Amino acid sequence: MLRQSCGPALEHWKDLTRAAKRELIQIFVRRVEVERIRIGVLHLTIYWCDGEVNAVECVTRSISGRVRRGWLAREEEQLLAAIERGATPVEIAALFPDRTWNAIDVKARALRPGSLKFGQRIIRPAETWNDYVARTGNLLVAASGTIADTKAV
């Protein structure tokens, strides 16, 4: 329950100084155990002062501040599920809007070799879903799983 009560204190987390963040953590959290799952992905076990325990996976940041593009287990499961149901490259890219198609393709081939076999490239290798939308104006209509041309709307 303590975790829910600290919500208001965290609303402006990005605006807090490092010292203020540390002080808030010391108020609410007894300890945190960190385990590296693989490059760029950590498993955190948070022990709250009220005895509650939570586990979470998170991606890490490099020294430069850029997010390392490690894949969380739930993202890998989501990718495999999309491949299994025969999703198109555009539908798969829409699931991971900030990842390049190349990153998605490499992960898919690592998880299930030979799984992605598409003819014409619709999304460029270094292009993210967001880049694709900006370039083409096409959006995925999530409910139907079909492509809608936003230029025609």
- CA 135 – CA 140 distance, rounded (Å): 14
Question: pTM value?
Answer: 0.54
Quick one: which H or E segment has residue 73? helix 73-84
What's the rounded mean pLDDT across residues 63-89? 79
The token pair at 79 is 């990718």
Cβ-contact 79, 87 below 8 angstroms: no
Residue 1: C-alpha distances to residues 5, 28, 55, 58, 105 (Å): 7, 11, 15, 22, 41
Residues 6+ apart with CB under 8 A from 15: none
Q: 28 versus 143: which is more confidently predicted?
A: 28
CB atoms within 10 A of CB 148: 12
* pLDDT tens-digit readout, 128-151: 888 888 888 876 544 334 444 444
